[in-house]
Amino acid sequence: MRIDRTLMTLAAVALASTSSVAVRAQSNNNLPLDGPVVAGVCVLSREAIFANAKVGQAASDRLKQLAQQAQAGIDTERKPIEADLQTYRAQAASLSADQRQSREQALTQRMQTVQADQALRSRELEATRTQAMQQIAQYAQPVINNAYHSKNCGLLLDRNSVLGGNMANDLTAAVVQGLDAKVTTISFNLATLPADGASGATP
């Protein structure tokens, strides 16, 4: 399983997901469940903020870059093993049983090392993604607070869980705009984790 197909997908889930609007249930006559604005009730999509704010897009690009670098390193480790494996297959018929067993064990151990390195890179990328999201959330929270009070909200709901209603008090766009004015990018490198698999990321 390649890192660039797994961890880049993880990055996309949190930082580059499409800004889906809330699902609007519809009545039998196909009219949307709209209605009057409910005073004090506001909605927000954190996923849309991360996907549309410049800092979220920059973080997503950086995570993809780190994933590509990690995959390139794994590919560099794997190529000589694959070459040796092809050589072994070509020579296997001329080797004794003991020689074949010895070569196979050596190749297996080398491949297991690469697989362990790949698993470690995956955990490190996940820890990096978590840390980046936490950093963006710290920037976003004051902006969310300002938008919440400016709209006189008394209750804030996750937009993605709303089945229908008047979405006039959707704070998402205002928060994206405010976050863009505050920060457009963050810098981070690949998190370093111990090889035993323990994660240093904050839950």
Residue 8 lies in a domain: yes
Residue 188 lies in a domain: no
pLDDT at position 195, please? 76
Question: 34 lies in which domain range?
Answer: 3-182
Residue 18 lies in a domain: yes
pLDDT at position 33, please? 73
Residue 202 lies in a domain: no
pLDDT at position 31, please? 61
Residue 170 lies in a domain: yes
Residue 75 lies in a domain: yes
Instruction: Give per-residue pLDDT as tens, 146-174.
Output: 999 999 999 999 999 998 888 999 999 99
Instruction: Give per-residue pLDDT as tens, 41-96.
Output: 999 999 999 999 999 999 999 999 999 999 999 999 999 999 999 999 999 999 99
CA 149 to chain CA centroid, nearest Å: 30
Residue 199 lies in a domain: no
200 touches 127 (CB < 8 A): yes
CA-wise closest residue to 41 among 156, 141, 163, 171:
156
Q: In the beta sheet, which residues pair with residue 43?
A: 157, 170
- What's the mean pLDDT in 164-191? 95
| Structural domains counted in the chain | 1
Residue 37 lies in a domain: yes
Q: How far is CA 71 from CA 62, 75, 191, 202, in A?
A: 14, 6, 15, 24
pLDDT at position 196, please? 67
- Helices 3-15 and 54-91: crossing angle, nearest 10°? 170
